[in-house]
Amino acid sequence: MAVERTLSIIKPDAVAKNAIGEILGRFEKAGLKVVAMKMLHLSREQAEGFYAEHKERPFFGDLVGFMTSGPVTVQVLEGEDAVKKNRDLMGATNPKDAEAGTIRADFAETIDENAVHGSDSTESAAREVDYFFADEEICPRTR
């Protein structure tokens, strides 16, 4: 297994629930390291650009409305198999299908407000990390 980086977002619903720390704690306990992070309130343009692959989906307008409804935290997680490890910690897209103990099972109720985003492949991760962070904003963990 290779050391990878993946993009994670704590979405507006989970930030509003004051669950930032608990969710970041799950990443850390699983051995993923935060190597970059910021809090921001996405503009409509930022949210539309980030989710461009879903532009034709019927829920796109709702998704953009939700993602711009309050602040989010955006972080880069690094570790062995980070893309899959993060997706496993997140659980299924629909919290109703998410395995017990996953972030979505514990912090979300509906598919449209599902607590977290995580890159779905190393290719998406590279694009998504680049979407939010300049190279010099990523801090390799050397100690």
Tokens representing 75? 């972080």
What's the CA gap between 29 and 4, in Å, rounded?
A: 17
The answer to the question of whether 94 is labelled as a binding residue is no
What's the CA gap between 32 and 27, in Å, rounded?
A: 5
Identify residues 30-59 at the interface with ligand GDP (CB under 6 A): 54, 59
Let me know if 41 is a catalytic residue. Answer: no
Report how far apart, in Å, the C-alpha atoms of 40 and of each of 4, 43, 51 are.
24, 9, 16
* Options 68, 83, 117, 119, the catalytic residue: 117
Nearby residues of 22 by Cβ (< 8 Å), 6 or more positions away: 107
The answer to the question of whether 93 is labelled as a binding residue is yes
Neighbour count for residue 30 (Cβ, 10 Å): 14
Residue 131 interacts, among ligand GDP, Mg ion, none and using kind-specific CB cut-offs from 5 to 8 Å, with none
Residue 112 interacts, among ligand GDP, Mg ion, none and using kind-specific CB cut-offs from 5 to 8 Å, with ligand GDP
Residue 121 interacts, among Mg ion, ligand GDP, none and using kind-specific CB cut-offs from 5 to 8 Å, with none
Task: Name the residues that contact ligand GDP, by CB under 6 A.
Answer: 54, 59, 62-63, 93, 111-112, 114, 117, 120
The binding site for Mg ion (CB under 5 A) comprises 120
